[in-house]
């Protein structure tokens, strides 16, 4: 295990707190083909039984074969599922045992293994490699077989990376969850607001560049 790998304690808070803390951290995936990684630039928190957008909404306990069972365990494990029958989504389980919460990783800034990512994604565009939940899973070769993986050491891990100051981060409403009623407006999406590597800039405005009025005076 890398000395900088986040330990279990990091994940033992509510999803919203962990989603914010994950900004700037490095997600690493190891395979026989090589190592790929990216800095986390965008996350979404799904806050358990009271959050109508969460897969564990109103669920009281695990049940045989249900995809959310991993969420009822302690934080620091991978929750991977399929959407639209074709796209994989990678989530980090958070909080203590019995409180089913998770954080969806929505986008990364590519770091190691860019050539391998380009091959897997069949694109040379750097911004398109990990700019969405399904894209980053393809780029890092995260599959349904990684469901339940221990993120505190193993094939997939998260390392310390960079601290993102409050002024560089932004909380917005989540993406494409209009079905969730009031919960659709919860400010549970977190982004590095000036990053060029987001899944979408919806709800995110770039800061205006200050103009030096002394120039050309």
217 band by pLDDT with thresholds 50, 70 and 90: very low
Superfamily of domain 8-192: Methylpurine-DNA glycosylase (MPG) (3.10.300.10)
The 8-class DSSP code of residue 9 comes to: G
**Domain ranges across the chain:** 8-192
CB burial of 26-50 (b: ≥16 within 10 Å; e: otherwise) equals: bbbbbeeeeebbbbbbbbbbbbbee
Per-residue pLDDT reduced to its tens digit, 7-20: 999 999 999 999 99
Per-residue pLDDT reduced to its tens digit, 46-65: 999 999 999 999 999 999 98
pTM: 0.93
CB burial of 158-197 (b: ≥16 within 10 Å; e: otherwise) equals: beebeebeeebebbbebbebeebeebbebebbbbbbebeb
Determine how many CB atoms are found less than 10 A away from the CB of residue 83: 11
Per-residue pLDDT reduced to its tens digit, 129-185: 999 999 999 999 999 999 999 999 889 999 999 999 999 999 999 999 999 999 999
Pairwise CA distance, residues 65 & 106, whole Å:
26
Per-residue pLDDT reduced to its tens digit, 88-124: 999 999 999 999 999 999 999 999 999 999 999 999 9
pLDDT at position 213, please? 38
Residue 189, pLDDT above cutoff 60: yes
């Amino acid at each position: 295990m890398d000395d900088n790998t986040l330990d279990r304690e990091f994940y033992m808070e509510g999803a919203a707190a962990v989603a914010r803390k994950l900004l700037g951290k490095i997600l690493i995936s190891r395979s026989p083909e090589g190592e790929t990684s990216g800095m986390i630039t965008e996350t979404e928190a799904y806050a358990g039984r009271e959050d109508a957008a969460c897969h564990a909404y109103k669920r009281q306990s695990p049940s045989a074969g249900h995809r959310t069972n991993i969420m009822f365990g302690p934080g620091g494990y991978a929750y991977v599922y399929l959407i639209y029958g074709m796209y994989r989504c990678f989530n980090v389980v958070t909080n203590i045992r019995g409180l089913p919460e998770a954080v969806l990783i929505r986008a990364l800034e590519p770091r190691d293994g860019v050539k391998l990512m380009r091959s897997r994604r069949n694109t040379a565009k750097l911004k398109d490699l990990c700019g969405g939940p399904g894209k980053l899973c393809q780029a890092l070769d995260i599959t349904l077989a990684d469901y339940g993986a221990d993120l505190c050491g193993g094939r997939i891990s998260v390392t310390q990376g960079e601290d993102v100051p409050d002024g560089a981060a932004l909380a917005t409403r989540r993406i494409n969850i209009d079905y969730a009623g009031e919960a659709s407006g919860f400010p549970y999406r977190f982004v590095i607001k000036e990053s060029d590597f987001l899944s979408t800039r919806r709800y995110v405005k770039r800061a205006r560049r200050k103009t030096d009025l002394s120039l050309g005076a």
